[in-house]
């Protein structure tokens, strides 16, 4: 079978067996048909062409057109058109005739079989063709405003209902008048105006239930126009659509932490981690929500911040500071205006890790200005408070630094008296005492390496 596009793009000519005078090159075609092919009769011994004219819209009548062309394409031929009568199994008297012309065209044809008798000095032949009006039926259930009916959706599902019926085309065996149906069927597919929205079962179910439960498609969370498109065996399509004004909601958020290399900038981290206090920014990515309930801590916490937060706008971000070293699994529940609920995450958890406290100190540093190991620094994480005092071998206090109840930040001792960068401490051994408490209540005091010796060495000396 050939498509309508192939048919329309060519000169629509088909050669047939002639009667009375043997084989003829006379041809019959249609300049306006949407599809054509040939059909066979169960008993009648020849094949005849058929032409299908697709209705522009359901229930809109469409009439056919046929063109007869003699073998030479010159004037001087007589044409006589008649229509087949199924009740008598014969052709009725002619309804249109032309004389001395090169071609003959008949328009406004109702469905049925047509025969043209062509005569000239050396030609006497009959050609036949069937005309079918194709009016396939596709409908999507909707209310008077073109929307999905309210009882077709809840917070748990969305139900799309469609009908797709191929048109039935009946022709008759010209030998005995028995009716025969032209084979025709339908394929269909549900689509939407959201190119990223996947509809599972879109080609399998005319009555399609979209459940709000993975791994199903889940109903869309924004207003969506669904279209049911059906294509029959002749490649001719029909479509109908319906608008769904969504009541469903999708909960989702992303987590960000401050970029320590570029303070003030925030970078997205799927599973944020860092030392305490760890500040995490939650960006709301939900759809169709009007209220959001955040549960940010599911275990011990400290500070004055509340771990349960409610926001009422998708544009509102939430910032929460985690103090106690641990693993935290935040969640968010979103509510739509219609009362539908969704939670995030629903599968793999978002894991926020606040790292345990650590403290370690080196035993040598070289403050000679070469940019390498110029400061006496400790390796520390998640410290709540920190105090370091450095003494000379004679017991004189050379340097002291104290930090309490803030994020631990210490630039280290530069090897000068009181750390003022003016008077250099002499090379040699110095004694330090560290008193620190981690956010996990771990105390670093009174035992090595939190009391110890560090050697100040200047290579230039």
Q: Is the pLDDT of residue 407 over 90?
A: no
Residue in the structure block whose two tokens are 């110095």: 430
* Same-domain status, 215 and 283: no
Q: What is the pLDDT of residues 197-212, one digit of tens each?
A: 999 999 999 999 999 8
Write down the pLDDT at residue 446: 60
Q: Which domain holds residue 86?
A: 4-134
Q: What is the pLDDT of residues 167-185, one digit of tens each?
A: 999 999 999 999 999 999 9
**CA distances for 194 relative to 199, 220, 323, angstroms:** 10, 9, 43
* Same-domain status, 84 and 150: no
Q: Which of 134, 162, 180 is the last residue of a domain?
A: 134
As given in the structure block, the two tokens for residue 274 are 């860092």
**Element holding 454 (H helix, E strand):** strand 451-456
**CA distances for 278 relative to 250, 406, 407, 437, angstroms:** 28, 11, 9, 16
* Same-domain status, 128 and 32: yes
Q: Is the pLDDT of residue 454 over 80?
A: yes
Higher pLDDT, 201 or 408: 201
* Same-domain status, 206 and 270: no
Residue 389's closest CA among 381, 398, 380? Answer: 398
In sequence order, which residues have a C-beta less than 8 Å from that of residue 362 and are 6 or more positions away?
376, 377, 378, 454
Q: Which of 244, 275, 297 is the last residue of a domain?
A: 244
* Same-domain status, 261 and 186: no
Q: What is the pLDDT of residues 27-85, one digit of tens each?
A: 999 999 999 999 999 999 999 999 999 998 888 989 999 999 998 767 889 999 999 99
Paired residues of 385 in beta bridges: 404, 437
* Assigned domain for 461 exists: no
- Give the separation between CA 243 and CA 94, rounded to whole angstroms: 51
Low-confidence winner among 214-223, 260-269, 338-347, 350-359 (lowest mean pLDDT):
214-223
Q: Is the pLDDT of residue 376 over 90?
A: yes
Percent of the chain with pLDDT strictly greater than 90: 76
Residue 332's closest CA among 252, 434, 232? Answer: 252
Per DSSP, the residues of 245-267 read -----B--EEEEEE-TTSTT-EE
* Same-domain status, 273 and 329: yes
Predicted confidence band at 447 (pLDDT cuts at 50, 70, 90)?
low
* Assigned domain for 127 exists: yes
**CA distances for 438 relative to 326, 373, 446, angstroms:** 12, 26, 15
Low-confidence winner among 315-319, 381-385, 405-409 (lowest mean pLDDT):
405-409
Does the predicted model carry a pTM greater than 0.85? no
Q: How far is CA 181 from the centre of its chain?
A: 42
- Per-residue pLDDT, averaged over 141-154, amounts to 97
Write down the pLDDT at residue 90: 97
Residue pair 285/254 in contact (Cβ under 8 Å)? The answer is yes
Write down the pLDDT at residue 342: 94
* Assigned domain for 326 exists: yes
Q: What is the pLDDT of residues 85-98, one digit of tens each?
A: 999 999 999 999 99
Q: Which of 355, 382, 409 is the last residue of a domain?
A: 355
* Same-domain status, 96 and 45: yes
Write down the pLDDT at residue 461: 46
Write down the pLDDT at residue 332: 95
Q: What is the pLDDT of residues 97-119, one digit of tens each?
A: 999 999 999 999 999 999 999 99
């Amino acid at each position: 079978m050939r498509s309508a596009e192939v048919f329309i793009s060519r000169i629509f000519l088909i050669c047939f067996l002639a009667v009375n005078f043997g084989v003829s090159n006379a041809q019959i075609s249609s300049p306006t048909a949407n599809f054509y092919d040939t059909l066979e009769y169960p008993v009648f011994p020849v094949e005849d062409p058929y032409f299908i004219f697709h209705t522009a819209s359901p229930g809109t009548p469409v009439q056919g057109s046929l063109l007869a062309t003699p073998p030479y394409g010159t004037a001087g031929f007589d044409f006589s058109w008649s229509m087949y009568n199924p009740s008598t199994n014969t052709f009725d008297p002619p309804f249109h005739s032309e004389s001395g012309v090169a071609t003959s065209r008949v328009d406004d044809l109702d469905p049925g079989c047509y025969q043209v008798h062509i005569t000239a000095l050396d030609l006497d032949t009959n050609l036949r063709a069937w005309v079918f009006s194709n009016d396939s039926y596709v409908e999507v259930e909707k209310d008077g405003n073109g929307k999905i009916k309210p009882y077709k959706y809840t917070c748990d599902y969305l139900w799309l209902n469609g009908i797709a019926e191929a048109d039935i085309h009946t022709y008759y065996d010209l030998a005995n008048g028995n009716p025969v149906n032209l084979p025709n069927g339908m394929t269909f597919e549900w689509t939407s105006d959201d190119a990223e929205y996947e509809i599972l079962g879109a080609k399998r179910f005319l009555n399609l239930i979209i459940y709000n439960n993975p791994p199903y498609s889940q109903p869309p969370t924004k207003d969506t126009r669904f279209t049911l498109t059906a294509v029959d065996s002749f490649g001719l399509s029909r479509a109908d659509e319906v608008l769904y004004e969504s009541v469903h909601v999708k909960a989702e958020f992303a987590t960000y932490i401050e970029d320590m290399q570029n303070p003030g900038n925030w970078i997205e981290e799927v599973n944020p981690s860092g030392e305490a206090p760890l500040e995490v920014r939650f960006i709301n990515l939900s759809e169709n929500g009007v209220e959001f309930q955040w549960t940010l801590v599911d275990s011990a916490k400290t500070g004055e911040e509340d771990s349960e937060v409610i926001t009422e706008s998708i544009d509102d971000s939430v910032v929460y500071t985690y103090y106690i070293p641990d693993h935290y699994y935040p969640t968010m529940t979103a509510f739509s205006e219609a009362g539908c609920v969704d939670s995030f995450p629903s599968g793999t958890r978002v894991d926020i890790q606040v790292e345990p406290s650590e403290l370690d100190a080196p035993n040598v540093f070289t403050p000679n200005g070469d940019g390498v190991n110029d400061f006496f620094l400790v390796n520390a994480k998640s410290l709540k408070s920190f105090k370091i005092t450095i003494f000379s071998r004679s017991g004189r206090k050379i340097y002291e630094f104290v930090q309490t109840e803030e994020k631990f930040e210490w630039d280290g001792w530069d090897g000068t008296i009181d750390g003022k960068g003016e008077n250099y401490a002499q090379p040699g051994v110095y004694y330090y005492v560290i008193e620190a408490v981690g956010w996990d209540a771990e105390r670093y005091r009174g035992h090595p390496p939190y009391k110890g010796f560090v050697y100040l060495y200047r290579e230039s000396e």
